Structure 1
Amino acid sequence: MDITSEQALVDAVKGAGGPVAVQGGGTRGVPAGGTVLSVAGLSGISLYEPGAMTVVAKAGTPVAEIEAALAKENQRLAFEPMDHRALLGSKGTPTIGGVMAANVSGPRRISVGAARDFLLGVRYVDGRGTVVKNGGRVMKNVTGYDLVKLMAGSFGTLGVLSEVSLKVLPRPETQATLVLHGLDDVRGVAAMANALGSPFEVTGAAHDPAAQNTMLRIEGFETSVTYRMDKLRTLLSATGAEIDVQGAADSDRLWAQTRDVAAFQGKPGDVWRVSCKPSDGPALAARSGAQAWFYDWAGGLIWLLANAGHDLRAALGPFDGHATLVRADVETKARLGMFHPEPAGLARLTSGLRAQFDPRGIFNAGLMEHAA
């Protein structure tokens, strides 16, 4: 069912006789049963105010279209949303509604925040077929529920987004990445923590155990980047690692590969993402039973490649964080669940929220049963 207007979306929800699978561009491999309800046709930038650094777009608007419009004004989506297609082997076009529904946040999350932190307002259709608007084009919200934050990361289970309002930021003049060679996981995570604790405004911190490379990005005006990079290099010389600096073009390519998990693209096996305390990362990875892994968000996010069907959550045991199954076959996703099991109290709370927003339980039914 292809939707091209908000009223058509309302009519489709009201007329739904059973479960519907809410979908944008269909690029993220989210398993959901029922009739496909695609909002990809609900597309277009409704309003863009470069001076106010805000953009309003319909949910099915391609991310690339928004990024192109922002680039003309030397602005960008600072949260650096991942493109899942090469990793998952999916087709389609990433949409801004899909990005916000999944709260897709890239390497720059450690410095600017998550996708949800840039979401100013939403319009969506709830399970009763009612259009709800919350927030606006300013950073202020005085309603009882912060629906903007609730919708981000809800994966379409609370309502179907029809329009989003976003804060955007200026594009920096340049960037560079300092690479430390030869550090193991523990020393690499320690180096990233040291860099983030410095005053040099690191906007990306990742560690690749396979190559033993620890990568630290700095962005801004060219003179400032050069100055801060020199200072960061001096700070980290105590690690004893060999150090080099990648210029703007190589740095941009390096972080695009990190963002889109290029290391696991085209390789057989299941892909997991684990969110944890950075200091816990090396121990978790070591006991995960995975074939390979790498760290983003200064160690707070671990991407892991595991044998097909491997129960990574069981291997990890209890820990302060959660493990999401990003890529696997249908049977494995059905058996293990895409999302981490919730504690009983939180499960009751989220179940109550879904009952309020979607009383018939039709949106992406069963998807979030294991959500964290």
Structure 2
Amino acid sequence: MEKKITVLPGDGIGPEVVEATTNILDEVAEQFGHTFTYEYADIGGIALDREGVPLPDKTVETCRESDGVLLGAVGGPKWDENPGHLRPEAGLLGIRKQLELFANLRPVAGHESLNTSSSLKEEVINGVDLMIVRELTGGLYFGEPKERREEGGEEAVVDTLSYKRSEIERIVRRAFDLAKVRKKHVTSVDKANVLESSRLWREIADEVSEDYPDVTLEHMLVDNAAMQLIRDPKQFDVVVTENMFGDILSDEASVLTGSLGMLPSASIGSDSPGLYEPVHGSAPDIAGEGKANPLATIASAGMMLKYSFGMIAEATAIDEAIQQVLSNGFRTGDIAKPGEKILSTDEMTAEVVKALQTAAAKS
């Protein structure tokens, strides 16, 4: 099978973790008889420096012509003072919108060998396996008007939280579809006691649930969900929520795995190529130092193999290789305990390659 992958290295540690991941994809391609070709394009701060915009038109076109998109990270202090439309993050929001990637899937699964890396008690996080499904193209991040203006002689600001019924229904339905092949439980997170948008969200979730009689639906206010995610994360299976709530909750969930460097994500739509990226940011403080943890990006590539290419065995091979590397005690700085040997980005990547090769030799 031949697949074309658009690679968007981005900023900070993005190029490092993306390079590590293409090495893993090359190993998978060799073992399973595939051909992966890579087309590179700019997004975020590097695109601002080179093209004057965070998302050049040619980047969008390259992504549309591919089978899947692998992204590193965007952002950094160099561009912090830019106006909103000229910040690196505008490129990330833009590519999601341009490709109509309305569903962000963020799996949070505990690695037993990393339980002690989390600040939470081992009995709380052991066995955690949940999926956060975040609506990605609506809500406060995209609503209009979004502006600063004058009201009554003083500076004011407005952001708009806007959703259409169809936007809510499609993300809720995606969550139920996922729950059907998991533990058959959906937690819909909202703020229905305050927000009209949440009240509509809750109504639609109830309506959709009628089409899935074998899936249990639970409603939970976002403040309670934030607490429950830390207090008792094993109660969750599939969590579905709007854009901003999902952004915050999925980052909070990183404490369950010990580090943001362990969390992958997939952004998918209906007909367009999916976008796969780690949850972590660009970490400019360690960029270029070989300290970045590549595992979240590698796991994101595994999600690409699964969700965009239908390569289930290949995706499983990557997941199992990551588990094996962690079980063998290999650590980057973000997940290492005091006294443990710390591997560089390249060294950790090499260990994943070895794990893939060892598994292939045994099969």
TM score, norm. by length of structure 2:
0.29
Q: Which structure is higher in strand share?
A: 1
| Relative contact order, higher structure (CA 8 A, sep 6+) | 2
Q: Which structure is higher in helix share?
A: 2
TM score, norm. by length of structure 1:
0.29
